[in-house]
């Protein structure tokens, strides 16, 4: 049974009725299911069972909530991080530094130093100069930074342009043609322990074919690198496996993905690394919202909910579909637009969609928001950052407090212009 299901006509998260959470915490709120997180985390790892040597690092960007990271740490997940902030989260969650992979195209020197000092297990280097600087910073500390070179296999992942990362003109990695030369130069640096290559071609990938094509190209590259005398022991295959957002969609299973990877990498003799985010987190969360108004519209009524684009940015950013269902459906259906209170036409979750008939004061949820939901929230329109709630069987707990508009106001000092410390005038003289 899905962890989010109806019982006696009321939507529950595990054994907790969502109206109970709304009454106790307020809306809007993200609600996560422990059982759902565990199930998807285990399904992904079970899918990889045919792969002998492997390391799975959760892409923290998908859901950096501390309680969630703790849960995944207990499932044996490492962490894929892209900032100092994500490193702090992963370490606070008890993920061993050795199990952390530092990805990302804009690492600062300060971030690399902090990661070296913390003993982060691997850096995925995006291009040559980054590798040179990392080697220098490591050598200055008497260290050798374990690193993989991220390559760009020039594959169209067939996903939304804003979440596609593996085409030649994307900002990520080095081109396959340039990779052998760059690899050879980086491999000579004392401060680097270069162990292989990394890819990540995009997110919400619906089909295994582009993933397979990218992995095959990496296979050719590592054969060439070995022929040139390099010792390749690790290959990071990134994340990207998609999930269904619409009730009728069918996506590749983790087992199908694992079988494909095992087949294509059969002769590789390397430790394979994976960085799933969405697959693990996406289906484990809903966004609980209250219907503020049903406002007549030119074609369809507007259902105005108390969640907005600042709470869930995916529809506004990527035209993403999130299923919308009433918490206590009355059995009737309407065709409506769904929008939030933010003053932009883009703050629209759906247009002309057949949904449960909802009225002012009713509760509803957007489904499949456990990944790239809360983590992408902002305070636009001086709205709060909304709370996150974790359900475990018949219990629930707030795992991220609401950050109130008063709290964001309190960190905005207005200058009196009497404090000399921030003045540039001394430097100019």
Q: Which is nearer to ligand LLP, 18 or 152 (CB)?
A: 152
Question: Using CA atoms, how far apart are residues 118 and 297, in angstroms rounded to an integer?
Answer: 56
* 183 near ligand LLP, judged by CB under 6 A: no
Q: Compute the residue count for the chain.
A: 429
- Is residue 382 part of the annotated active site? The answer reads no
Single out the residue of 112, 63, 109, 117 nearest to residue 90, CA to CA. Answer: 63
Write the CA distances from 338 to 199, 273, 360, integer angstroms. Answer: 37, 40, 13
- The total of other beta-carbon atoms located within 10 Å of residue 409's CB is 9
Question: Using CA atoms, how far apart are residues 255 and 16, in angstroms rounded to an integer?
Answer: 31
Q: Which is nearer to ligand LLP, 318 or 380 (CB)?
A: 318
Which of residues 65, 122, 152, 203 is near ligand LLP by CB under 6 A? 203
DSSP-assigned beta bridge partners for residue 338: 303, 350
Single out the residue of 18, 68, 57, 118 nearest to residue 276, CA to CA. Answer: 57
Single out the residue of 77, 67, 78, 70 nearest to residue 120, CA to CA. Answer: 78
Contact window for ligand LLP (CB under 6 A) among 6-14, 196-204, 382-390, 413-421: 196-204
Cis bond upstream, residue 4 (ω within 30): no
Q: How far is the CB of 241 from ligand LLP (least distance, A)?
A: 6
| Residues in region 59-88 near ligand LLP by CB under 6 A | 59, 62, 80
* 278 near ligand LLP, judged by CB under 6 A: yes
Cβ 395 vs Cβ 371: under 8 Å: no
Number of residues that bind ligand LLP (CB under 6 A): 21
* 200 near ligand LLP, judged by CB under 6 A: yes
Q: How far is the CB of 311 from ligand LLP (least distance, A)?
A: 13
Q: Which is nearer to ligand LLP, 148 or 304 (CB)?
A: 148
Which of residues 33, 40, 103, 152 is near ligand LLP by CB under 6 A? 103
CB proximity list for 34: less than 8 A, separation 6 or greater: 14, 71, 390, 391, 392, 393
* 210 near ligand LLP, judged by CB under 6 A: no
* 276 near ligand LLP, judged by CB under 6 A: yes
Q: How far is the CB of 299 from ligand LLP (least distance, A)?
A: 28
Question: Which residue is catalytic, options 250, 343, 382, 409?
Answer: 343
* 204 near ligand LLP, judged by CB under 6 A: yes
Q: Which is nearer to ligand LLP, 153 or 329 (CB)?
A: 153
CB proximity list for 121: less than 8 A, separation 6 or greater: 78, 96, 97, 98, 99, 100, 101, 146
Site string for ligand LLP, 146-165 (x = CB under 6 A): -----------------x--
Q: Which is nearer to ligand LLP, 191 or 239 (CB)?
A: 239
DSSP-assigned beta bridge partners for residue 59: 80
The per-type count for the chain, helices as H runs and strands as E runs, is 13, 21
Contact window for ligand LLP (CB under 6 A) among 20-28, 42-50, 126-134, 272-280: 272-280
Question: Using CA atoms, how far apart are residues 424 and 429, in angstroms rounded to an integer?
Answer: 9
Residues that bind ligand LLP (CB under 6 A): 59, 62, 80, 103, 163, 200, 203-204, 238-241, 275-279, 314, 318, 371-372
Positions annotated as catalytic residues are 343
């Amino acid at each position: 049974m899905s962890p989010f299901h109806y019982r006696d006509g009321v939507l529950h998260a595990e054994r907790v009725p969502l109206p109970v959470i709304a009454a106790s915490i307020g809306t809007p709120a993200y609600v996560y299911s422990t059982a759902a997180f565990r199930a998807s985390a285990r399904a992904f790892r079970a899918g990889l069972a045919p792969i002998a040597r492997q390391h799975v690092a959760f892409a923290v960007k998908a859901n950096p909530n501390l309680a969630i990271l703790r849960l995944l740490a207990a499932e044996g997940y490492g962490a894929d991080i892209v900032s100092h902030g994500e490193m702090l989260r992963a370490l606070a969650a008890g993920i061993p530094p050795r199990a952390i992979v530092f990805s990302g195209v804009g690492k600062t020197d300060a971030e690399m130093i902090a990661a070296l000092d913390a003993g982060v297990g691997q850096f995925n280097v995006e291009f040559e100069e980054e590798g040179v600087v990392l080697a220098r910073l490591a050598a200055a500390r008497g260290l050798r930074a374990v690193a993989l070179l991220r390559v760009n296999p020039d594959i169209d992942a067939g996903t939304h342009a804003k979440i596609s990362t593996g085409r030649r003109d994307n900002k990520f990695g080095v081109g396959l043609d340039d990779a052998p030369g760059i690899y050879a130069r980086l491999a000579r640096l004392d401060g680097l322990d270069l162990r292989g290559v990394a890819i990540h071609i995009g997110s919400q990938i619906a089909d295994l074919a582009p993933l397979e094509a990218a992995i095959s190209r990496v296979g050719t590259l590592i054969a060439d690198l070995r022929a040139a005398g390099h010792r390749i022991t690790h290959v990071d295959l990134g994340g990207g496996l998609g999930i269904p957002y619409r009730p009728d969609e069918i996506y590749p299973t983790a087992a199908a993905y694992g079988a494909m990877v095992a087949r294509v990498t059969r002769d590789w003799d390397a430790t394979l690394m994976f960085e799933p985010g969405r697959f693990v987190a996406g289906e484990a969360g809903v966004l609980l919202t209250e219907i503020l108004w049903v406002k007549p519209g030119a074609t369809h009524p507007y259902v105005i909910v108390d969640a907005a684009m600042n709470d869930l940015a995916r529809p506004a950013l990527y035209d993403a579909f999130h299923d919308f269902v009433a918490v206590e459906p009355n059995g009737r259906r309407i065709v409506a637009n769904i929008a939030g209170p933010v003053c932009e036409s883009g703050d629209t979750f759906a247009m002309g969609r057949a949904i449960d008939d909802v009225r002012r004061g009713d509760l509803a949820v957007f489904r499949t928001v456990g990944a790239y939901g809360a983590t992408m929230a902002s305070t636009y329109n001086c709205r709060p950052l909304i709370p996150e709630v974790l359900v475990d069987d018949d219990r629930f707990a707030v795992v991220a407090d609401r950050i109130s508009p008063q709290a964001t106001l309190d960190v905005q000092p207005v200058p009196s212009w009497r404090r000399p410390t921030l003045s540039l005038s001394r430097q100019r003289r």
